[in-house]
Amino acid sequence: MLRPKKDKEPKIKLTKESIAKAKGIFTYLKPYRFLFGIGWVFLLLSSSAMILFPYLMGQLLGSSGTKVTSMNDSLSLISLGSVNSVVIMLFVLFGVQAIFSYFRVVIFTNVTENALRDLRKSAFERLIFMPMDFFNQNKVGELTSRISSDITQIQETLRTTIAEFFRQIVTVVGSIILLVLISWKLALIMVATVPVMAIIAVFFGRFIKKLSKQAQDFSAESVSIVEEALMGISNVKSFTNERFILGKYQKSIDEIRTLNVKSGMWRGLFISFIIFCMTGAIVFIVWQGLLMTQGPNPELSSADFFSFMMYTIMMVASVGSIPDLYAGIQKSVGATENLMNIIHQKSERELLKGTQKPTLRGKVYFENIHFSYPQRLDIEVLKGISFTANPNETIALVGSSGAGKSTISSLLLNYYTVTNGAILFDDINTKEIETDYLRQQIAIVPQEVLLFAGSIEDNIAFGKPGASENEIIEAARQANALEFINSFPEGLKTQVGDRGIQLSGGQKQRIAIARAILKNPTILILDEATSALDSESERLVQDALEKLMVGRTSFVIAHRLSTIRKANKILVLNQGIIAESGTHEELIEQQGIYANLVELQGVEVN
C-alpha cells in the first residue's frame, strides 16, 4: 500500500526547553519594550471595554419601554436610565473601542516589524558567516524556510495571535464573572453544558481536519505519480511499464476515496452533533432562563436575561477560538526555537580566531596535511600531503575523481580546519591569519560558475564591490568578455537571469574570470574551469586564464591535461596521497600514472 508523505510541520509541543529557546525573541523586542508595553495597555483597555458590550446590548434588547431596569437591583452593574442613554453609551463604547484598537494595532505592528527586521538581519548575518560544514549538514531549502516562513509565522503571532489569545482569555474570564453576577444559578447550568459541548466540537473538528490532511497527502502523492510518469514517459514506454504505473496510481486514488468517504461519515456525525447537542444546549439554557423570568416574583429580568444570553454567545465563541490561537502560538514557539538554534550556533568568526593581516607574496606550503570531512571522520581524504608553491608558480593538481583535488582548494580557502599538519602562507600558519583577509587574497574560477540575478556589470563587480565602470570594462576586456558583452543591446546592463541562465557556459566562465581579474588576487584557484566548454569557448577562456595567471601563484585543478603542460609543477593525486610530482616532461619520462592519463586522453607528449 502506498503511504502518505509525512507532514512537513510536525506537531509542536510546548516544553521547558522549547520555551527557554523561544524566549530569545525578547532580545529583539527589548529595544522597543516601552512602546510594546503601551500597546499592551491599549490591548487591556480595548478587551475590557468589549466586556461591557453584551451587557448593554442585553439591557437594550430587554427593555420594555423608555426605562431600562433590572429586577435584580442588588447585582445591577450600572444605573442605565432610558433606552436612549443605553444607545448613547453603546456608541461611546464603540468609539472608545475603535480608538483603543487602532492604537493597539499600530503599536503592535510597529514593534513587530522593528523586531523582525532586526531578527531577519541577525539570522541571515549568522547564516552567511557559518562555516562550510554547516551547509553540508543543512539543506538550503530548510535554511531559507527559517528566514521566510518561520519569521512570517512569528510576525503573525506578534501582530495579532497573542493579542487575540489574550483578548479571548479576558473575554472568557470576564464573561464568567458577569454571568455569575447576573444569575449564578443560570451560570452554573450554562457552564455545565455549553462550554463542554463547544470543547467537544473543537476536538471533533480537529479530528476531521486530520482526516482531510491525510486525504490531501494521498492526493499530492497521486499528482506526483502522474507528473513523474508524464515527464518520464519515454522510460515508461521503453520498459512497457504503463500497467505498473497505472497500478500505483490506482492504489493512491483508492486511498483518497477511502479517506474522503471516512471523512464524510465523520463530518455527517459532526453536523448531527452540532444540530442536536449544541443547539439543544442553547435551547435548554434559553428555556431555563425564560422560566426564571416568569412568575409573580421572577428571579431574572428580561434585560438581564438578554445580557446573559449575549455573554453566553460571546464566551462560547471565545472558547471555540482559543485552541486555534494556542496552536498558532505553539507554531511560533517552534519557529522561534528553529531560528534561535541558528543564531546561537558558532559562526566562522567565532571558530576561526586568526588576527594577522600579512602582506602575502604567494608562497604556500602544505606540511604533512591529514584531513577528513567533519561528517565523515572515519574516511581520510588527504593522507600526509606535503608540497610547496613558490610565488608566481603554477601548480597543477591531477587525479581521478575523489583523489582530493577539490579538497585542497577548500583548505586553501580555509573552508575547513585540517585534522593534522599545517598550511602556511608566507611561513605564517593559516590559523593565525584573519579568514576574511586571507580569502580577499584568493580568487577562484570554478567549473560551474554561479552568477547572481542582476546585470553583467553587477556580477563582474562582485569581485570588487564599488569598482568603477572603467575598471569593470577593463576586467571584461582582459577576460575576452567585452566583445560578447558589447554585442548585447544593453551591454554591461544586460540581465543574466536566474543563476546566469541567459548566458552560455563560455560566457559565464569569462564573466567569472573578469570577476577574478577585478579582485586582483595574490593566489588563484582554477577548478576545472574549461572542462565543460566547446573548443571555441575553451580557446577564449584558456587565453583569458593565461592572462589572469601572470604574476600570481596559481593552483589549477585539471581534467583536460592539455591545459597544464606549462605548469611549473604537476601533482598527481591518488587516493589521498601525492603519487607523482614534477613537470610535464619529467612525469612523461617516469611512465607512471600521469603518462597513462596523457595517453588515454590522446595528448601530444611534446
pLDDT in tens, 178-227: 888 887 888 887 777 766 776 777 677 667 767 666 666 667 677 778 87
pLDDT in tens, 119-178: 888 888 888 888 887 887 777 777 777 777 778 878 888 888 888 888 888 888 888 888
Angstrom distances, CA of residue 245 to CA of 99, 253, 255, 491, 552:
62, 12, 16, 50, 58
Would you state the pLDDT for residue 262? 77
Would you state the pLDDT for residue 78? 45
Would you state the pLDDT for residue 63? 64
Torsional class of 368: left (φ above 0), alpha (ψ -120 to 50), beta (otherwise): left
pLDDT in tens, 266-319: 777 777 777 777 677 777 877 877 788 776 777 777 777 888 888 888 877 777
Angstrom distances, CA of residue 355 to CA of 268, 428, 431:
71, 12, 9
Would you state the pLDDT for residue 605? 53
CATH superfamily, domain 353-441+560-606, is: P-loop containing nucleotide triphosphate hydrolases (3.40.50.300)
pLDDT in tens, 507-553: 888 888 888 888 888 898 888 766 556 566 667 777 777 778 888 88
Cell 455545565, located at residue: 192
Would you state the pLDDT for residue 34? 92
Is the confidence at residue 80, as pLDDT, over 60? no
Compute the mean pLDDT over every residue in the chain, rounded to the nearest whole number: 79
Q: Please, is 21 exposed, middle or buried when counting C-beta atoms within 10 Å of its C-beta (0-12, 13-18, 19+)?
A: buried
For residue 161, give the C-alpha cell. 495571535
Mean per-residue pLDDT, 589-603: 78
To 5 degrees, how large is the angle CA 211–CA 219–CA 153?
70
**Under 8 Å between Cβ of 414 and 438:** yes
**Under 8 Å between Cβ of 373 and 135:** no
Q: How confident is residue 602, by pLDDT bands cut at 50, 70 and 90? A: low
Domain edges within the chain: 12-182+322-351, 184-299, 353-441+560-606
Angstrom distances, CA of residue 441 to CA of 301, 403, 517, 520:
87, 26, 12, 8
**SS3 call for 143:** helix
Would you state the pLDDT for residue 64? 54
What does the DSSP 8-state code read for residue 243?
A: H
Higher-scoring residue by pLDDT: 351, 34: 34
Would you state the pLDDT for residue 74? 41
Mean per-residue pLDDT, 573-598: 85
Is the confidence at residue 573, as pLDDT, over 50? yes
Q: Please, is 327 exposed, middle or buried when counting C-beta atoms within 10 Å of its C-beta (0-12, 13-18, 19+)?
A: middle
Which ranges of 344-362 does DSSP label H, i.e. alpha helix? 348-351
Mean per-residue pLDDT, 55-76: 57
Is the confidence at residue 76, as pLDDT, over 60? no
User: 237: closest CA among 246, 38, 253?
Assistant: 246
The answer as to CATH 3.20.20.60 being correct for domain 12-182+322-351 is: no
Q: How confident is residue 38, by pLDDT bands cut at 50, 70 and 90? A: very high
